[in-house]
Structure 1
Amino acid sequence: MRNEKTRTRSTVYSARAAVATSHPQASLTAIEMLQKGGNAVDAAIAAIAVQCVVEPHQTGIGGDCFAVYMPRNADAPIALSGAGRAPAAANPDWYARQGITELALDSAHSVTVPGAVAGWCRLIADHGKLSIGTVLEPAIRLARDGYVVQPVVAQDWLQEAPLLANHPVAASVFLPDGKPLPEGSIHRQPLLAATLEKIARDGHQGFYEGEVANDMVACLQDHGGLHSLDDFAEARADYVTTISSRYKGYDIVELPPSGQGLAALMMLNALDGMDLRDPGLSEADRIHIFAELAKLAYHHRDELFCDPDFGSTPVQQLLSPQWAEFARSRIDMKKAAAPTVWPEVTQLDTVYACVVDEEGNAISFINSLFHSFGSRIMAPRSGVLFHNRGAQFRLEAGHPNAIAGGKRPLHTLIPGMVMQNGQCVAPFGVMGGPYQAAGHAELLSNILDHGMDMQQALDAPRSFVYRGVLNIEQRQDESVIDELRSRGHDAQWSPTPIGGGQIIWRNPQSGVLAAASDPRKDGCALGL
């Protein structure tokens, strides 16, 4: 039921199809694709391509993508990893000889070969109904003719302006006259429009070979990168087998490592053995429980998760009842604890869109540059802004996530899906870099433990502990943060809203769709 004291917007209900994204133009584009005869895949990729133009700090064709797609009558979800790989020449020894001890966020060494376009092209070819040219047409038009800067985009743009100032090519595009664009202004990216047109015409080859690839490789090499034309020509997106776990009677589906979806499932497994509806639990108790479990899950993530082509993450052990019991046993309700790796284990900035179409096909899709404006390195003739996902690599030889040629780094991007009895109940996703795994657990707990509707679950105040600091959104009472500090947490008010998210939930009896979009972003949910 709608709560007028706390509600920011209503859940959108539809009997036919629904979309939810973080930008109104992207949501509208997804609807338009469905009206043209496209399916969920076409609509999601068209929306994401538009977001690569209108939310340039969050995502771009120089980034990566991931998807979970559930055709209506399929036996299992189809999962795709569009994670970029490190240049073939990259290895810890090379960096050690150069005296490089970290992969700086604005360094070419933090740039892996972008995987987003490879993912788009493969999904459309295998599962779409429209051509890549039709799907990209709205994004091309907005990049060429201009789009209006929305309020949250403008706010983020202003905050990140000092970082752009040190990168002349990116600054010439995103800081015209030396200033970020205010809300309501019109922005154009003609070079990006031309590159999107090449992809629309030539598909995968239009980006990873020829003129665009030559420009990208030359740019990265000019910035000291080890990238080659061969690295780009060999780029691909791969189908992967999903992992899942049960929570409150539902199957929660995630992508396997090198993504962090496993961490979300680890948290949910531990929470599944707890009664979060207990009226004796305070808000401080709830935040404390999530913080303690997040610290444990993320500690295991950082120590063990890796590209499966280069190592083995102990997925089954970490999803076992024994790990969940270990995690629960580590929670002292009176005191914050330091995380530790389970002794039994074998050690071996983002946009999101979801669509359910009229046929019942559902997709959960995420695309990112990682940090705001990625590496801030922009190829000068193609207008491609590169992500900095490679900063997640480690430089310690022997670490599971150590950089290596052709290797994918630990990824924070995780599209999610809720299933029941073999049917898709809800595609969902949460933005916010590292927050995503904890965000998945928090969002689903809001719905399945606390009975919130879709919009309430996204609206609810958030908290997130990362690198020792417990950030809490400022809608909580002062007494909550005082109580958490008394338990030993380094708790502080979050300087910005935590993450974002979208979800579409299908009622299994009526088939009615309930769609919601996070008020922390500019976007919206729409239905047909």
Structure 2
Amino acid sequence: MPRHTRLLSVLLLVAVPALPALAADRITGQPFATRSEVHAPHAMAATSHPLATQIALDTMKAGGSAVDAAIAANAALGLMEPTGNGVGGDLFAIVWDPKTKRLYGYDGSGRSPQSLTLAEFQRRGLSDIPSHGPLPVTVPGAVDGWFALHGRFGKRAMAENLAPTIRYAREGHPVHEVIAYYWDRSVPRLGKWPGFTEQFTIDGRAPHNGETWRNPNLANTLQAIADGGRDAFYKGDIARTIGDYFAANDGFLAYEDLAAHTGNWVEPVSTSYRGVELWELPPSGQGIAALQILNLLEPYDLKSYGFGSPEHVHLFVEAKKLAFADRARWYADPAFHPAPVERLISKDYARERGALISMDTALREVQPGTPKQLDEGDTIYLTTADADGMMVSLIQSNYRGMGSGMAPPGLGFILQDRGEQFVLREDHPNGYAPGKRPFHTIIPAFATKDGEPWLSFGVMGGAMQPQGHVQILINMLDFGMNLQEAGDAPRIQHDGSTEPTGQNTAMTDGGEVDLETGFPYETVRALMQKGHSVRFSHGPYGGYQAIMKNPYGGWTGASESRKDGQAAGY
């Protein structure tokens, strides 16, 4: 049993609202925290790997901005946690700039190959896009995202930001426990794809916990990017190698697709909840689902019901069902199908949709709303904050674990399989088309109070992400938890909503409610009486990192107890 699974079973094996046994051993008596919040006066970083956190801090100590630190940490995670991300994937970010006192959003997602058509999938007799191999691969947007963010907010040279990872790639680093667990699960699935076994195994197996891992091919790729900039990746030998590799392996991603890639600066959107503004990026991602859920929950006095109560869980699940029905209908690449975002995240729309919620009965089927326009996938999330007040919320992913399994020779990275999320229907907003961005699950979050930065955070993990964003906020704002407790408290995940992706089966049975260990049996029984199907599941509850503005000065950080990560500052 991996460490993260043991933690779920041991740390949270308790009935709420009684204090957990382990919390009673802590001098503070905090009900859920596995460890204390981290405080620091100058800068803070929170990532899913301790070495990446240290690289981020070293970058800021050397004069780099929070954006430099985020890029340096993201590069490190691509080496150290290839089970979740890498330069073969996409990137999204929200940046608080203290000079202009505003938020900036970046959509660093890539598009489908121009030469791959819907007719080709139909010719192959496919009803869904395969999860691995050449067909689900889209243009990787992460490197473009690094350079776009750096061009606006960076202070150090990109070569300096990438240097620590290049060194670790050549000299080696010890693999951490949770990463080793997921790596071992990926090898049997991906070993058949060309280039994977040669570049991502040790004699055909995954590296063990604590074993040294080296990736000299990735070191060479990153050095080429450090020397030649973004065009070394999208228009140079790297792009040619990728194009030749797919041409030789029944693929469609071509040099021309990489050369044409551009990311986009986008305006974050928000809603208010209990005096806080939660900011998310608009579609093609799923961030606004978190805003919709909060709007639906706002009329209810969750505090009076209490954390872990039947009312708390029931209302959360019902609000999620309503938001995800709209997610399945409206969220897609806005260049092809613009969503009515302003209406979807409005309070008036939430009041209309909220009328469908019953306190006594679980919804079994949910149709999307009809708003009119107003005139196993895995991921990494990281956040950084510097001495000048800049904060970065960044998420990056290869999608399913280690991605498509397609690893071009000599490059040291795997291409993402994000294209699996398309629907093979021409009449669907997320229907496949050449040059189109698929629906995206990865979403960074940011919260402000009275127009000032308050919290940079994320909870990675597929459809869990908007659910996790909401739970962190209600844990803090309704249930009075601190930053670390809010992430350690047992989580809820509802599964089975109608999806905007290839497996587009409509919910007709109310779906499944996954409850992490820690919810009382009385709650489980009450939920079943309301018609919920409740189950227990290890592992699908996401990975949390957060940095909060300390009201006394400096920063407060928290990190996910279910991962290998660390929050640290100086």
The TM tier, using the shorter chain, reads over 0.9
Equivalent-residue separation in structure 2 for 1:154 and 1:280 (angstroms): 37
Equivalent-residue separation in structure 2 for 1:484 and 1:356 (angstroms): 41
* Residues 1:66 and 2:92 are matched in the alignment: yes
CA deviations 1:175-201 (Å, max 9, x no partner) are: 322322221100111111110111111
User: Contact 2:326 / 2:369 at 8 angstroms: preserved in 1?
Assistant: no
What is the match of residue 247 of structure 2?
A: 221
Deviation at 1:2, TM superposition (A): 3.6
- Write the letter of the residue equivalent to 2:553: G
- Write the letter of the residue equivalent to 1:309: A
User: Contact 2:459 / 2:542 at 8 angstroms: preserved in 1?
Assistant: yes
What is the match of residue 543 of structure 2?
A: 500
With over 3 angstroms needed to count, the CA separation of the structure-2 counterparts of 1:461 and 1:409, relative to structure 1, is: same
What is the match of residue 392 of structure 1?
A: 421
TM-score by length of 2: 0.89
Q: Aligned to 1:386, what secondary structure does the other structure show?
A: coil
What is the match of residue 378 of structure 1?
A: 407
After superposition, where does 1:51-62 map in structure 2 within 5 Å?
51-62=77-88
What is the match of residue 321 of structure 2?
A: 295
Deviation at 1:129, TM superposition (A): 0.2
With over 3 angstroms needed to count, the CA separation of the structure-2 counterparts of 1:513 and 1:343, relative to structure 1, is: closer
* Residues 1:522 and 2:564 are matched in the alignment: yes
Gaps of at least 5 residues in structure 2 are 1-26, 497-510
With over 3 angstroms needed to count, the CA separation of the structure-2 counterparts of 1:300 and 1:527, relative to structure 1, is: same
* Residues 1:450 and 2:486 are matched in the alignment: no
What is the match of residue 167 of structure 1?
A: 193
Equivalent-residue separation in structure 1 for 2:211 and 2:101 (angstroms): 47
Deviation at 1:100, TM superposition (A): 2.2
User: Contact 1:107 / 1:223 at 8 angstroms: preserved in 2?
Assistant: no
| Percent identical residues | 37
2:456 to 412, 427, 440: 427
CA deviations 1:302-356 (Å, max 9, x no partner) are: 1111111112101111112232123322222232213423444249x11111111
User: Contact 1:86 / 1:406 at 8 angstroms: preserved in 2?
Assistant: yes
After superposition, where does 1:131-170 map in structure 2 within 5 Å?
131-170=157-196
Equivalent-residue separation in structure 2 for 1:443 and 1:90 (angstroms): 40
Equivalent-residue separation in structure 2 for 1:343 and 1:46 (angstroms): 42
* Residues 1:128 and 2:154 are matched in the alignment: yes
Equivalent-residue separation in structure 2 for 1:210 and 1:15 (angstroms): 43
Deviation at 1:365, TM superposition (A): 0.7
User: Contact 1:471 / 1:493 at 8 angstroms: preserved in 2?
Assistant: yes
CA deviations 1:459-514 (Å, max 9, x no partner) are: 01011112222222123344433433333222211122510111111134x22311
Equivalent-residue separation in structure 2 for 1:75 and 1:527 (angstroms): 23
* Residues 1:249 and 2:249 are matched in the alignment: no
Q: Which runs of 4+ in 1 moved over 4 A?
A: none
State which drifts further: 411-420 or 209-218.
209-218
- Write the letter of the residue equivalent to 2:49: H
RMSD: 1.9
With over 3 angstroms needed to count, the CA separation of the structure-2 counterparts of 1:94 and 1:447, relative to structure 1, is: same
- Write the letter of the residue equivalent to 1:514: T
User: Contact 1:246 / 1:252 at 8 angstroms: preserved in 2?
Assistant: yes
CA deviations 1:49-88 (Å, max 9, x no partner) are: 1000000101010000011111113242111110011111
With over 3 angstroms needed to count, the CA separation of the structure-2 counterparts of 1:219 and 1:16, relative to structure 1, is: same
Deviation at 1:148, TM superposition (A): 0.5
Equivalent-residue separation in structure 2 for 1:345 and 1:194 (angstroms): 50
* Residues 1:411 and 2:440 are matched in the alignment: yes
State which drifts further: 432-441 or 212-221.
212-221
Equivalent-residue separation in structure 2 for 1:385 and 1:480 (angstroms): 43
CA deviations 1:140-184 (Å, max 9, x no partner) are: 111111110111111222333321333352123333223222211
CA deviations 1:387-417 (Å, max 9, x no partner) are: 1111111111021111222211111111111
1:49 to 75, 78, 90: 75
Q: How many residues align?
A: 527
- Write the letter of the residue equivalent to 1:234: A
What is the match of residue 230 of structure 2?
A: 204
With over 3 angstroms needed to count, the CA separation of the structure-2 counterparts of 1:356 and 1:397, relative to structure 1, is: same
Q: Aligned to 2:441, what secondary structure does the other structure show?
A: coil
Q: Aligned to 1:154, what secondary structure does the other structure show?
A: helix
User: Contact 1:336 / 1:487 at 8 angstroms: preserved in 2?
Assistant: yes
Deviation at 1:98, TM superposition (A): 3.1
State which drifts further: 131-140 or 416-425.
416-425
User: Contact 1:295 / 1:466 at 8 angstroms: preserved in 2?
Assistant: no
Equivalent-residue separation in structure 1 for 2:519 and 2:74 (angstroms): 33
State which drifts further: 72-81 or 190-199.
72-81
What is the match of residue 526 of structure 2?
A: 483
Deviation at 1:237, TM superposition (A): 1.6
State which drifts further: 235-244 or 28-37.
235-244
Q: Aligned to 1:113, what secondary structure does the other structure show?
A: coil
With over 3 angstroms needed to count, the CA separation of the structure-2 counterparts of 1:254 and 1:4, relative to structure 1, is: closer
Deviation at 1:291, TM superposition (A): 1.3
* Residues 1:90 and 2:116 are matched in the alignment: yes
With over 3 angstroms needed to count, the CA separation of the structure-2 counterparts of 1:41 and 1:280, relative to structure 1, is: closer
- Write the letter of the residue equivalent to 2:147: C
Deviation at 1:378, TM superposition (A): 0.9
What is the match of residue 503 of structure 2?
A: none
Deviation at 1:239, TM superposition (A): 0.4
Equivalent-residue separation in structure 2 for 1:429 and 1:47 (angstroms): 15
TM-score by length of 1: 0.96
With over 3 angstroms needed to count, the CA separation of the structure-2 counterparts of 1:339 and 1:322, relative to structure 1, is: farther
Deviation at 1:15, TM superposition (A): 1.8
Equivalent-residue separation in structure 1 for 2:221 and 2:147 (angstroms): 14
What is the match of residue 512 of structure 1?
A: 554
Equivalent-residue separation in structure 2 for 1:280 and 1:381 (angstroms): 55
State which drifts further: 482-491 or 435-444.
482-491
Equivalent-residue separation in structure 1 for 2:117 and 2:514 (angstroms): 35
Equivalent-residue separation in structure 2 for 1:475 and 1:370 (angstroms): 29
